[in-house]
Chain A
């Protein structure tokens, strides 16, 4: 999954919750999904991916 897609999905979920479009059971499912998305985005922002590092810096 791409970072931008994850952010878009997260935005959708938050908007639905804010607009009261979900019942309580659906909120529970959405929260679980949102937590995964946030984790994914945070990793992209802050965690160095060794594989990318290896590919990029191999010739340096």
Chain B
């Protein structure tokens, strides 16, 4: 039986590995820990999880030596807009190494940023799909920005230059609009951002009646680390927030999930301030328009009235003359009509009187007697029938020119 020392055994393992696996390999893995060293190297731990993401299937240490790290780090950051960090999926070109004392490890020679970008895009897409399915993705957008968005709750890092820009721009706006600001400080990058921003949102929600609008801003940092805004939980909180949320988290690449669910997104903190000022400007313009319309229509109306009075006063003498002529004509007419009326009435009367006169004349008994007729009376009565008379009656016969007495025998 051959007995080996541990060093000899590890040495053989090392030889086998170097002999059998001398090439470089592209390997995909997730970073589970990352520690840059004081000497300028970077020590990683890589893992592979099962599809549920809860159990580890494989694990390996990996080292990026100083010379490589100096090159890879800025390359990766310019390509992705992100720094390498825990939880990130990476595609690395590695060689396998084995050290008698330190054991198995990988040495990183290169990195493919498009793999990480693809993974981040996929995650973002999955989160958006999930939010869409839950029907919350458009909720914040359905809220209306108030007519006067003056009371502004700001979520930002207190020390960020972006916050100062926002504050200056807003409070020193050229129109002199009144704004009220309250900062809810939060960590705006890295793994703490999700929890921190959600805590700030909750703090605002507890005093929601004090505010009109929420603004999430960041800026002034050297590298844009935005993947923390591709967070399902943060997005859910923003989408469900009872006040409109405006994001101005500053970036060149595609919108983060937070931007998508926010009411409005702008690129920079300064643009966020301009957004609010513009809204105030719209409201102020509306007021100015109304004021101008009122002044114009009132002065129009006053001019109209003035013209009316002038016209009336100019026409008055003419009108009066016309009126006078008309009244005179009217009086003339009445006089003529009355005069004719009276004349007509008089003629009628005269005619009637003539007839009556003729009738009366014809009926005069004296005229009848004159025409040869006589009137017989007995005992003071006019005799009208022979039967009224008997023998011995004394009769008086009246003629036109006198009367005679006689007796019936």
CA distance A48 to B298 in the complex (A): 32
CA distance A18 to B299 in the complex (A): 11
Question: Do B301 and A17 have beta carbons less than 8 Å apart?
Answer: yes
Closest Cβ–Cβ distance, residue B280 to chain A (whole Å): 7
Given A14-B297, A24-B305, A27-B301: A38 and B287 interface contact (C-beta under 8 Å): yes
Question: Do B298 and A17 have beta carbons less than 8 Å apart?
Answer: yes
The one of B291, B293, B301 that contacts A20, using a Cβ cutoff of 8 Å: B301
Question: Do A57 and B182 have beta carbons less than 8 Å apart?
Answer: yes
Q: Indicate the member of B151, B181, B284, B298 with the most A CB atoms within 10 Å.
A: B298
Number of A-B contacts (CB under 8 A): 69
Question: Do A14 and B287 have beta carbons less than 8 Å apart?
Answer: no
Question: Do B298 and A27 have beta carbons less than 8 Å apart?
Answer: yes
Interface string of A13-42 (1 = CB under 8 A from B): 110011010001001000100100010011
Question: Do A52 and B151 have beta carbons less than 8 Å apart?
Answer: yes
Question: Do A45 and B182 have beta carbons less than 8 Å apart?
Answer: no
Question: Do B147 and A4 have beta carbons less than 8 Å apart?
Answer: yes
Question: Do A56 and B210 have beta carbons less than 8 Å apart?
Answer: yes
User: Which residues in window 260-294 of B have CB below 8 A to A?
Assistant: 280, 283-284, 286-287, 290-291, 293-294
Given A3-B147, A4-B147, A52-B151: A45 and B290 interface contact (C-beta under 8 Å): no
Nearest A residue to B211 via CB reads A56
Closest Cβ–Cβ distance, residue A40 to chain B (whole Å): 10
The one of A14, A45, A47 that contacts B280, using a Cβ cutoff of 8 Å: A45
> Residue B26 at the A interface, CB < 8 A?
no
Question: Do B298 and A56 have beta carbons less than 8 Å apart?
Answer: no
Nearest B residue to A49 via CB reads B178
Q: In the complex, what residues of B have CB within 8 A of residue A45's CB?
A: 148, 177-178, 280, 283-284, 287
Nearest A residue to B179 via CB reads A48
> Residue B183 at the A interface, CB < 8 A?
yes
User: Which residues in window 235-253 of B have CB below 8 A to A?
Assistant: none
Q: In the complex, what residues of A have CB within 8 A of residue B177's CB?
A: 45-46
Given A7-B286, A41-B287, A55-B210: A60 and B297 interface contact (C-beta under 8 Å): no
Given A20-B301, A45-B280: A60 and B183 interface contact (C-beta under 8 Å): yes
Nearest A residue to B304 via CB reads A20
In addition to A14-B294, A38-B291, A45-B178, 6 A-B residue pairs with Cβ atoms within 8 Å of each other are: A3-B147, A10-B287, A10-B294, A24-B305, A44-B148, A56-B182
